[in-house]
Amino acid sequence: MKNLKAFLYLVMPLLIAVPASADSFSVQTWEQGLRASLNAGKTDLTPFFDLTKIEKGALAIPESADRKNMQAARELYAKGQFDAAIQKYNLIEKGSDYWLEALEEKAWAYHLENNFEKSLAQTKTLLAEPLVQVVGSEPFFLQSLSNLKICDYKSIFTTHQEFKDTQRERISAMETLAHTGVSPAIPNVITKADSFPLTFAQVGVEAKTLPLLFYRDLEVQKRLMQVKLTDRGIALIQERMTAANDADKAKLAKTVELLKKSNASGVTGLKNRLQALAKIEDQKNRLMLQKLGLIEVETIQRMHADKDMNRKDFSEGKFSKVDANQLVFPDDGRPWMDELDKYEVSTNACPRNVRRKM
């Protein structure tokens, strides 16, 4: 009954992303307008391909309560007011496009407050089955670092093994994209993008092999829109040309030529931008890998130093008490979708400020 993996993958895009809002730019509506103009015999199609003007309206980031809360949380975080920042992060609901970022930043805030139990509770969610493919490598580093702080060496090695098992495909995809600019996911994203601003709900499974949050990148969206509109425009105009008179046909052919050039430039721009983003992520992956390596070295050293440490010196963690309005379920490593971000961790932490015998 608990094996909901397939179901989780199915609903994940719906769970963590807001669908396109009613006031977003719809490619379908744009297409209908263009088709109507062509059918009316118009040959001046400038308004339909004035990308600068269209982008200005379509790609404006919509103001939302979640965005405001995220900004406020980040400002508080930057000032070191972690408790206040956490309160703001908590306001961001599971359905928000910002939820994953809020979870990760909240995990860091708890970590910086030395509240490793709560930090681990957040990273457990981030590294749970449905999300682990789209969160990147940093949550692994954070989880590993938190485990190091509480001397949970076993969990460090387990985290690193999970990192290898779950991130290999993504890391490899990022490397290929960074070096070649090619990814089988790019054509799929072009097909799926049917409204702007782009959301996670639209890109869905493609996010697994494309740079983190690429769908929010303004340049990616501009280029994607350019490709999408010119692509559809060319198809519609060519369709119309079959029924047009010679004079109109010539004008439309000229437009098609311009659109083809624009389309080619859009494809190149999109490819280049995704390649640049992939390079950034690849560098970050390399950095995270080095940090994980350093944690592993430190772990090996500490294990030898701590192997005779008295377990009685460890602080014994206890779960907080729950009341009749709360339900407690065991963590079997396969969370249900409603269990994400509901983790609680109890740690038996090693004594702080132990003088290391190295």
Partner 1 sequence: MKNLISNVILIASLTLITSVGFAKSTSDELDTLGGNDKLMDMANSMDPGNRSRIVQKRIVDRNNTFEFGGNYGMVAGGDSYLKTQNLGASIDFHINPRVSVGVRYYDYGNQLTPEGQRVFQEARNAYNAGGQSYAIPDIDYPLHSTMGTVSWYPVYGKTNLLDWGIAQFDMYLIGGYGQIALSSGSTNLAMAGTGVALWMTKHLSARAEIRYQAYKDQIITGPRDINTVNMSLGLGFLL
Does 342 interact with partner 1 (rule: CB under 8 A)? yes
User: By rule CB under 8 A, what count of residues binds partner 1?
Assistant: 69
Binding residues among 220-249 for partner 1 as defined by CB under 8 A: none
208, 37 contact by CB (below 8 A): no
For residue 77, give the nearest of 114, 102, 97, 99 by alpha carbon: 102
Does 311 interact with partner 1 (rule: CB under 8 A)? yes
Q: Which stretch binds partner 1 (CB under 8 A): 33-41, 201-209, 236-244, 328-336?
A: 328-336
- Closest distance of CB 324 from partner 1, Å: 5
The residue within the footprint of partner 1, chosen from 327, 353, 355, 356 (CB under 8 A), is 327
Q: Which stretch binds partner 1 (CB under 8 A): 26-34, 83-91, 212-220, 280-288?
A: 280-288
Does 337 interact with partner 1 (rule: CB under 8 A)? yes
Tell me the DSSP string of 125-191: HHTSTTTTTTS-SHHHHHHHHHHHHTT-HHHHHHHHHHHHHHHHHHHHHHHHHHHHS--THHHHHHH
Cis amide prior to 197 (ω within 30 degrees): yes
Does 79 interact with partner 1 (rule: CB under 8 A)? no
Q: Which stretch binds partner 1 (CB under 8 A): 20-28, 89-97, 196-204, 293-301?
A: 293-301
- List Cβ neighbours of 179 (8 Å cut-off, separation of 6 or more): none
Site string for partner 1, 134-173 (x = CB under 8 A): ----------------xxxxxxxx--xx-xx--xx--xx-
Closer residue to partner 1, CB minimum distance, 113 or 344: 344
The residue within the footprint of partner 1, chosen from 52, 78, 247, 307 (CB under 8 A), is 307
- List Cβ neighbours of 165 (8 Å cut-off, separation of 6 or more): none
Q: How far apart are CA 147 and CA 230, in angstroms?
A: 51
Does 310 interact with partner 1 (rule: CB under 8 A)? no
Closer residue to partner 1, CB minimum distance, 311 or 355: 311
Does 303 interact with partner 1 (rule: CB under 8 A)? yes
Q: Which helix (H) or strand (E) holds 29?
A: helix 27-39
Does 292 interact with partner 1 (rule: CB under 8 A)? yes
Length, in residues, of the chain: 358
The residue within the footprint of partner 1, chosen from 47, 60, 268, 319 (CB under 8 A), is 319
Characterise 187 by phi-psi region: left (phi > 0), alpha (psi -120 to 50), beta (else): alpha
Q: Buried b / exposed e across 313-339, counting CB within 10 Å, b at 16+? A: eeeeeeeeeeeeeeeeeeeeeebebee
The residue within the footprint of partner 1, chosen from 56, 346, 352, 354 (CB under 8 A), is 346
- The amino acid that residue 152 corresponds to is D
Does 111 interact with partner 1 (rule: CB under 8 A)? no
Characterise 220 by phi-psi region: left (phi > 0), alpha (psi -120 to 50), beta (else): alpha
Residue ranges that bind partner 1, judged by CB under 8 A: 1, 4, 7, 120-121, 124, 150-157, 160-161, 163-164, 167-168, 171-172, 174-175, 282, 285-286, 289-290, 292-294, 296-297, 299-301, 303-304, 306-307, 311, 314, 317, 319, 322, 324-331, 335-339, 342-350, 358
